[in-house]
Amino acid sequence: IAPTALEADGWDTGLMVLGTQKAQEVVRREGLAVFMIMKEGEGFKTWMSPQFKTFLVSDKN
């Protein structure tokens, strides 16, 4: 999540080039709000940064 689509696109491209491990390091260091979906074997794995979690809402009353 970024202030502009252009900034989000730039981060997306850069993080994809780095690979999962290094991208997560950059995300943590820069304090970015990021949700990643990675292919793992026949399925997928997800990861979200602590900053991304602040955007989640609960449907619990």
* Amino acid occupying residue 4: T
pTM tops 0.85, yes or no: no
Tokens of 19: 């690979």
- For the chain, the average pLDDT equals 94
Please state, as a whole number, how many other Cβ atoms lie within 10 Å of the Cβ of residue 12: 13
Tokens of 59: 């449907």
Query: Is 61's pLDDT higher than 70?
Result: no
Q: What is the pLDDT of residue 48?
A: 97
Query: Is 59's pLDDT higher than 90?
Result: no
- 4-58 confidence digits (pLDDT tens): 999 999 999 999 999 999 999 999 999 999 999 999 999 999 999 999 999 999 8
